[in-house]
Chains A and B, each alone.
Chain A
């Protein structure tokens, strides 16, 4: 009996490693190794110092990096301003409609990302409904444009990633014990104060996760800038894609990509420190 027990114990010790190995090996080969290759490609400059591609990347495309970070920050703030109240209403006042409302929030996921962005192109187009409405309300000059503007790009970015903001905030609001707010109000706390002192702090992990899930894809995105903006709104993703697939200057393309990853990783770490949240998943 003792022998069988020892054997099954050994089996049990090995079991988790066997279970994780196919997926983890896949991630090592096709996620970790490629990042290393990316770095190697970026420093494989044919003639010149190893950092040459990085020098070119930062001096020629520094503006694109800054613009991408700026747009992503603005889109994240707008997504927060739109998403938090909606998540709040669904979590606290949704009642029996809760699941239906959540379904509406994830509905955009079921239409192709590109088709949705083309729909915005239709809505904001020069002969589209939004321009027509604004001109009839005399809110826009004749000949004014919505498409190919910074606002259009920001609107598109916000739209595409706002569900990623809403869902984590909803999850953290949903977990809050209702008796806490009741207790605060019983102790003569005003609803606003109860919100600021009880609900808001407890929902910060959701805000943290939601902001990252909005900010990260928004920084790297280039579809919204390409379809809804003009060349003046070009983001860093367009440059990376163009250098990799059209120009084929691989060291430069790889260095741009590597810088983007580094900037975002540093940003995420700094943000995690400020908000002090450890768990993302």
Chain B
């Protein structure tokens, strides 16, 4: 009886994983489809055409470039802002830290459609035309919280007296930051910035409200349901998936090394 229930539980979990994986498999599979018409929704025949000509549609390429540019800028700014907040929350006891924590969580408990529409009403009220700058502004806004919370979770519990020890031993503040603080917080910052980049690249609802006439990759995909849905969309989606898996693998290996090095340093001194 007990063995049966365990077997049942494992089987159930495997089915849920299959459910999670199914659309991704279909997305990858259909990048090899030769669609009958303009819409790549029905399987017709195996073909490598879309992989041979991934940049066949200039509008799709432009949309992808815009998304990457938005993600790069918003991630850089949000990573800086979010890390500074996390450092302040972990290192200092100060009045208002509770309010800061609350302000970080609130954007996560507000539906995207409210975030997007309220920003649009701000821009409308200020007569700011929506476009590249407003997309980046919005992306920084929702990324700051994720970065701050991720970095804080990673560096909570770190022994900050190490910094004082380094200073007591005569290290200059910049050297302390470079040699002691940075190695400790770096894995958290890298994880947070990867999360912010992925969220920015994927964001649709908030962007829809604040994009004006600019078209990011998700907005292109959304519009494609009306005009044409080429297999190149699936090729780029598959490329993003494989690229981020590669990046993730490299980062995990690197983090293991940093953590081992940190543990080693703590052990010998």
**Contact A101 B118, CB 8 Å, known A15-B92, A24-B100:** no
CA distance in complex: A245, B119 (Å): 13
Interface residues on chain A, number (Cβ under 8 Å): 87
**Contact A93 B122, CB 8 Å, known A26-B141, A257-B113, A261-B111:** no
Asked if B198 contacts A110 (CB within 8 A), the reply is: yes
Asked if A105 contacts B27 (CB within 8 A), the reply is: no
Tell me the residues in window 148-171 of chain B with beta carbons closer than 8 Å to chain A beta carbons. Answer: 148-149
Asked if B113 contacts A113 (CB within 8 A), the reply is: no
**Contact A112 B237, CB 8 Å, known A16-B91, A245-B208:** yes
For B112, list chain A residues within 8 Å (CB): 217, 220-221
Query: B-side binding surface: helix, strand, loop or mixed?
Result: helix
CA distance in complex: A40, B204 (Å): 26
For A237, list chain B residues within 8 Å (CB): 111, 113, 205
Is B262 an interface residue, CB under 8 A from the partner? no
Asked if A41 contacts B121 (CB within 8 A), the reply is: yes
- From B85, B125, B222, give the contact of A41 (CB < 8 A): B125
Asked if A119 contacts B27 (CB within 8 A), the reply is: yes
Is A229 an interface residue, CB under 8 A from the partner? no
CA distance in complex: A41, B124 (Å): 10
CA distance in complex: A12, B93 (Å): 10
CA distance in complex: A35, B237 (Å): 34
Is B225 an interface residue, CB under 8 A from the partner? yes
B221 — nearest CB in chain A belongs to which residue? Answer: A114
Residue ranges of B at the interface with A (Cβ–Cβ < 8 Å): 2, 6, 9-10, 12-13, 16-17, 19-24, 26-27, 30, 41-42, 80-82, 84-85, 87-89, 91-92, 94, 96-97, 100-101, 103-115, 117-122, 124-125, 137-138, 140-141, 144-145, 148-149, 198, 201-202, 204-205, 208-209, 217-218, 221-222, 225, 229, 233-234, 237-238, 240-241, 244-245, 248
Q: Identify 19 new A-B residue pairs, CB closer than 8 A, beyond the known A115-B234, A123-B22, A163-B20.
A: A20-B88, A20-B100, A27-B103, A31-B110, A34-B119, A83-B16, A103-B248, A108-B23, A110-B198, A112-B201, A113-B218, A119-B26, A120-B23, A122-B26, A123-B26, A128-B42, A222-B113, A254-B117, A281-B105
**5 closest Cβ contacts across the A-B interface?**
A220-B111, A23-B81, A119-B23, A19-B88, A34-B118
Residue ranges of A at the interface with B (Cβ–Cβ < 8 Å): 12-13, 15-17, 19-20, 22-24, 26-28, 30-35, 37-38, 40-41, 82-83, 85-86, 88-90, 93, 101, 103-105, 107-123, 125, 127-128, 159, 162-163, 191, 212-213, 216-217, 219-223, 227, 236-237, 240-241, 244-245, 250, 253-254, 257-258, 260-261, 264-265, 268, 280-281
